[in-house]
Amino acid sequence: MLGGCTGVLPATRTTAGGFVRRELHSGQRRDAYQVFVPAASAPRPLPVVLFLHGSGERGNDGEQQTRAGLGPYLRTRMDTFPALVVFPQSPEGTSWEGETATMALATLDAATDAFDGDRSRTALTGMSRGGYGTWSLALREPARFAALVPVCGGITPPGTRPDLDTLQVDSTRAAADPFADAARRLRHIPSWLFHGARDDVVPPDQSRRMHAALRAVGADVRYTEFPDANHNSWDAAYRTEALWSWLFAQRR
Q: Which of 165, 170, 158, 168 is nearest to 196 (CA)?
A: 158
pLDDT of 13 above 50 = no
- Pick the closest to residue 221 from 185, 183, 195, 252 (CA basis): 183
- Output the average pLDDT for the chain: 94
| CB 20 within 8 Å of CB 41 | no
Q: For residue range 39-89, what is the model confidence (pLDDT) as tens digits?
A: 999 999 999 999 999 999 999 999 999 999 999 999 999 999 999 999 999
pLDDT exceeds 50 at position 229: yes
Q: What is the pLDDT of residues 153-184, one digit of tens each?
A: 999 999 999 989 989 999 999 999 999 999 99
- Domains in the chain, ordered, with CATH? 3-7+15-248 (3.40.50.1820)
Instruction: Tell me how far CA of residue 146 lies from CA of 61, 141, 186, 215, in angstroms.
Output: 30, 11, 11, 18
On whether the pTM is more than 0.85, the answer is yes
